[in-house]
A and B are shown apart, each in its own frame.
Chain A
Amino acid sequence: MSRSSGAAVLFAALGDATRLSLLRRLSLDGPLSITRLSEGTGVTRQAITKHLNTLGNVGLVRHARRGREQVWELERKRLEKARAYLDRVAAQWDAAAARLKAFVEE
């Protein structure tokens, strides 16, 4: 997989409101079971499973056993890559701020 398509696949996986809310839940309260993740969402366990698999395929979440329970947790490293876009925009601002500093301090 090329680098750019790797990023595109990652963003495609993130491009869904249910999946983003699953990531948010796992980020705040994870690891969580599918039962816990589907509570109060109005989304079926089957649909939640499908979304988790999509997120799992791009390495954003992984499942693990906790006792007899199967739980899902966030793969934080991968999520940080999604932040890379903001890092790149931030780098542009760093450069612009440095030029502004030189401009007003001269």
Chain B
Amino acid sequence: MSTDRIEKRVVLRAPRSRVWRAISDAKEFGTWFRISLDGPFAAGKTVRGSHGSFKVDIQVERIEPERYFSYRWHPYPKDPAVDYSAEPMTLVEFTLEEAEGGGTALTIVESGFDRIPLARRAEAFRMNTEGWGGQIKNLERYVS
């Protein structure tokens, strides 16, 4: 019954070095994540990301080449009108392994949601901008 973490595992048909570059290179990360970042990732550094009026700070924690990359940020919903700086952040971790039969197994974990104010988690149910629109059906299923 964990309400604290999300874990995703995906096998990518690409070598580990390729996947690593897509995650650890801020330009490449921005391409698939759809965000533009104002600097390279480095341990202990904060990189500002933006997508229209949507802004997010990524605090890089740890970089272990071709194996592990982690950062902290303020999780969804990210309402441009709200200042989240005083709130706790969640930790996002990318772990790369060789996949059986070739390719790269990537695990993405986001954790620390139990420390996020409940009011803000409830707020997610009201948001329908910044890509939340497609989730309206789920929303209706859950809260009706």
Contact = CB atoms under 8 A, between A and B. Distances in A.
A94 B126 CA distance: 21
A104 B75 contact: no
A105 interface: yes
A8 B122 CA distance: 5
Q: How large is the interface on B (under 10, 10 to 19, 20 to 34, 35 or more residues)?
A: 35 or more
Given A8-B119, A11-B121, A104-B19, A3 B138 contact: no
A103 B28 CA distance: 9
A94 B131 CA distance: 13
B81 interface: no
A61 to B, nearest CB: 14
Interface string A1-39: 001101110111011000000000001000000000000
B101 to A, nearest CB: 15
Interface stretch (B7-15, B37-45, B46-54, B59-67): B7-15
A33 B139 CA distance: 34
Contacts of A86: 3, 6, 113
Given A14-B118, A100-B32, A104-B19, A6 B8 contact: no
Interface residues of A, number: 36
B22 interface: yes
B11 to A, nearest CB: 9
A84 interface: yes
Interface string B117-144: 1110110111000011001001110111
Interface of A: 3-4, 6-8, 10-12, 14-15, 27, 79, 81-97, 99-105
Interface of B: 1, 3, 6, 8, 10, 12-14, 18-19, 22-23, 28, 31-34, 75-76, 106, 108, 110, 113, 117-119, 121-122, 124-126, 131-132, 135, 138-140, 142-144
5 contacts: A15-B117, A81-B143, A83-B3, A93-B8, A99-B32
